[in-house]
A and B are shown apart, each in its own frame.
Chain A
């Protein structure tokens, strides 16, 4: 009898205990999103901590949405921030919206890294990025830290790169994401 219970417990353990820790509804708890602009004469980093996001992970796949107001980025120079707002058409398209989809690695603990498909809506343009690596660290039960670096091309978003002394900034602008997600429940998840 005892042996039977132990075996049963062992057999059910994967089903009960580790059934996809990602499954559930998620909300962005805190975040820091940085962009880095490179010019032969100097580098600029702009930061925003005002991103908001939600996510739904079913047994099959995870869908997340993150949005951040363009005007919330602070590069430490008010005029540069206004210029950034102008070239990215931030008054007409005030949000940078990122939609993330990836298959849920079911029956596993939170993976260290996943490949996700991203759709970025920025400056009135929609650009898809496939197989973007997202780093994941489980901070505590129901809390995950997600980090990623996405290299955006200004040309892809139809943004004219600003120039200094006739020399434009580099087309590639790395965006560094550092986000902490919190699980809020599983009621709406299939």
Chain B
């Protein structure tokens, strides 16, 4: 009975004394140097340092420098503005093209407005494309998401942007020389419609 009392007393002693030691631990910890959270150059035995996390240079190094990223962003911003301007020009060209086609059917030979607008659109398109082509880009990086669709659509509207003015120029020549137009007017119209649709789509898929 005495032994059990001793054990019981010891147990009680441990139970009561433990919080005191816990308190002491708390005090010891508080007096330790505080963790320098954002200073990568500081390390103590018990501190946490971002350098200890095992990131390699490859994990952290960007494919483009900050300067290149800024240049790219600026160039793509101009690409966006020019792209929207090209869209307006393209829409105007499309409407004027339909009107001119009706006028030509009624005997008119004046195609100067549609020609001028066509060359303006072509020049704007070339400028828009150049700001994307010459913008710094990361090497071997696959373009994903809407950007991927935007780029894929460019492979359709780029040749169309060459073919539409070409067929338009051929039509101009035939109209000016009073030659039969054949199916060229229809071909030009179909190509111009495809150009407008693909170009507008490539514009709509892009967000920020």
Alpha-carbon gap, A1 to B6, bound state (A): 10
The residue in chain B whose Cβ has the minimal distance to the Cβ of A61 is B29
What is the interface of chain B, defined by CB distance below 8 A to chain A?
1, 3-5, 7-8, 10-12, 14-15, 18, 22, 25-26, 28-30, 32, 35, 37-38, 45-50, 52-55, 59-62, 64-66, 68-70, 72-73, 76, 138, 141-148, 150, 206-208
Can you name 18 A-B pairs with beta carbons within 8 Å?
A4-B4, A54-B48, A56-B48, A58-B25, A58-B29, A59-B26, A60-B29, A63-B35, A65-B37, A77-B147, A78-B143, A80-B207, A91-B66, A95-B50, A119-B38, A126-B38, A164-B208, A190-B25
Q: Does A155 lie at the interface of the complex (its beta carbon under 8 Å from any beta carbon of B)?
A: no
Alpha-carbon gap, A44 to B150, bound state (A): 18
| Interface of B (DSSP majority class) | helix
Are A92 and B66 CB-contacts (below 8 A) given A8-B10, A67-B53?
yes
Alpha-carbon gap, A71 to B55, bound state (A): 13
The reply to whether A82 and B53 contact each other, CB–CB distance below 8 Å, is no
Known contacts A78-B142, A106-B22; 19 additional CB pairs below 8 A are A4-B7, A5-B4, A11-B12, A11-B14, A12-B15, A39-B207, A50-B59, A54-B52, A65-B48, A65-B49, A67-B53, A77-B145, A79-B145, A80-B208, A85-B69, A90-B69, A97-B38, A99-B38, A107-B22
The residue in chain B whose Cβ has the minimal distance to the Cβ of A162 is B208
Q: Does A75 lie at the interface of the complex (its beta carbon under 8 Å from any beta carbon of B)?
A: yes
The reply to whether B53 and A54 contact each other, CB–CB distance below 8 Å, is yes
B-chain residues with CB within 8 Å of residue A76 when the two chains form the complex: 144-145
Alpha-carbon gap, A185 to B11, bound state (A): 28
B-chain residues with CB within 8 Å of residue A86 when the two chains form the complex: 66, 69-70, 72-73
Q: Does A89 lie at the interface of the complex (its beta carbon under 8 Å from any beta carbon of B)?
A: yes
A8 in complex: contacting residue of B8, B47, B64, CB < 8 Å? B8
The reply to whether A91 and B64 contact each other, CB–CB distance below 8 Å, is yes
The reply to whether B141 and A78 contact each other, CB–CB distance below 8 Å, is yes
Tell me the A41-70 residues at the B interface (CB within 8 Å): 41-42, 44, 50, 52-56, 58-61, 63-65, 67, 69
Q: Does A83 lie at the interface of the complex (its beta carbon under 8 Å from any beta carbon of B)?
A: yes
Q: Which 6 A-B pairs have the closest CB atoms?
A: A4-B4, A77-B145, A99-B37, A8-B11, A79-B147, A86-B69
Q: Give the distance to chain A from B39, nearest Cβ to Cβ, in Å.
A: 10
Q: Does A174 lie at the interface of the complex (its beta carbon under 8 Å from any beta carbon of B)?
A: no
Are A82 and B138 CB-contacts (below 8 A) given A5-B7, A59-B29, A63-B35?
yes
Alpha-carbon gap, A69 to B138, bound state (A): 17
Alpha-carbon gap, A162 to B76, bound state (A): 13
Q: Does A110 lie at the interface of the complex (its beta carbon under 8 Å from any beta carbon of B)?
A: no
The reply to whether A77 and B146 contact each other, CB–CB distance below 8 Å, is yes
Q: Give the distance to chain A from B128, nearest Cβ to Cβ, in Å.
A: 15
The reply to whether B11 and A163 contact each other, CB–CB distance below 8 Å, is no
The reply to whether A83 and B73 contact each other, CB–CB distance below 8 Å, is yes
B-chain residues with CB within 8 Å of residue A41 when the two chains form the complex: 207
Q: Does A101 lie at the interface of the complex (its beta carbon under 8 Å from any beta carbon of B)?
A: yes
